Structure 1
Amino acid sequence: MSNSCTKRVSHSKVKVEENKRKAVFRNPNNVDYDVTTIDGCLVKEGIRSDFMVSEVGKISVLIELKGKDVAHACDQLLATVKRDNVRDLMEKRIGFLVICRKLPRFDTFVAKAKQKCAKELKAGFHVVCDKGEFDIEQVASINGKL
């Protein structure tokens, strides 16, 4: 963890937030988590997601905090995972999380993103509204229920 965009924490609840959206990861054993700011810090140009939260040595979750453009959020997450400087910081197991204001009525792009992540990356892909408290294992799980 030698980069200025990453902060190591061991709080019982690890939180990222932006524009009234937030994701909280439960950490009951207070193990080390790395919280990386991607948008505007690790990646300053091009399409990218907002944050990456990693349980050190286990799992990384890429997070996009969005208003309502869930299709664009899917694109941002899938573009971010391909970046070398992000991959260098990722743990072996990964997951994807979109926190949005409102779920889309037709979620074909979400279904396609879930399939692509499961097939190509063996990763879970989840979209939830407003905010949530999560178990990082469930987010990374393909069949994880949030």
Structure 2
Amino acid sequence: MANDKCTTPTRNSKIKVEENGRVAVFTNEENSKFKVIEIDGCLITAGVRADYMVSKGKSVSVIVELKGKDISHACDQLFATVEHDAVKEIINPQVGFLIICRRFPRFDTFVAKAKTRSARQYKAGFHVICNKGEFDIDRVAAIDGPY
């Protein structure tokens, strides 16, 4: 079971995770049950790990990394997190990966490889957005998402 001190349940219409000026907001117009799980430094305290996981009910989870510009490291963090035993216990069947970064080069081989791995291995969306965004969690988990 997830460590309760790392999990914040919410039914807010907008669920926000932020760090160092990077912001991801998940819309929740139906006021469904969501959970925000703090991964970095709470659920996982050592090794490579992402910042947050946002989960909608028992259906969808999105692993979020809020990053400056080291996109290749962010890709590693997302995949290390989804494979971690503490996360495997609580992640929902449908998953998505989201990086919010300061700047993102037009073509990045790490991201191209990560998108392919995500689609093949997890049937999941893998998206990189600059600075901030507002998202539907189901679209983030979709391979052709997030908009």
Shorter chain as normaliser: what TM range?
over 0.9
CA distance in 2, matches of 1:87, 1:76: 15
Residue in 2 aligned with 1:12? 13
CA distance in 2, matches of 1:104, 1:84: 32
CA distance in 1, matches of 2:57, 2:106: 36
Residue in 1 aligned with 2:122? 121
Quick check: 1:68–1:104 contact (8 Å CA) kept in 2? Answer: no
- CA displacement 1:22-72 (0-9 Å, x = unmatched): 100000010110000000000000000000000011100000000000111
In the superposition, relative to structure 1, how do residues 2 and 70 fare at CA in structure 2: closer, same or farther (>3 Å)?
closer
Residue in 2 aligned with 1:75? 76
CA distance in 2, matches of 1:143, 1:42: 29
Quick check: 1:70–1:104 contact (8 Å CA) kept in 2? Answer: no
Question: In the TM superposition, what is the alpha-carbon distance from 1:2 to its structure 2 partner?
Answer: 5.7
CA distance in 2, matches of 1:2, 1:42: 6
Aligned pairs, number: 146
AA of the residue aligned to 1:13: K
2:98 is the counterpart of 1:97: yes
CA distance in 1, matches of 2:3, 2:89: 11
Residue in 2 aligned with 1:42? 43
CA distance in 1, matches of 2:69, 2:105: 7
CA distance in 2, matches of 1:34, 1:145: 19
Question: In the TM superposition, what is the alpha-carbon distance from 1:144 to its structure 2 partner?
Answer: 1.6
Question: In the TM superposition, what is the alpha-carbon distance from 1:143 to its structure 2 partner?
Answer: 1.2
TM-score computed with the length of structure 1 as normaliser: 0.97
* Percentage identity across paired residues of the two chains: 55
Quick check: 2:136–2:146 contact (8 Å CA) kept in 1? Answer: no
Structure 2: segments with no counterpart, 5+ residues? none
Structure 1: segments with no counterpart, 5+ residues? none
TM-score computed with the length of structure 2 as normaliser: 0.96
Question: In the TM superposition, what is the alpha-carbon distance from 1:106 to its structure 2 partner?
Answer: 3.3
AA of the residue aligned to 1:83: H
| RMSD value, Cα | 1.0
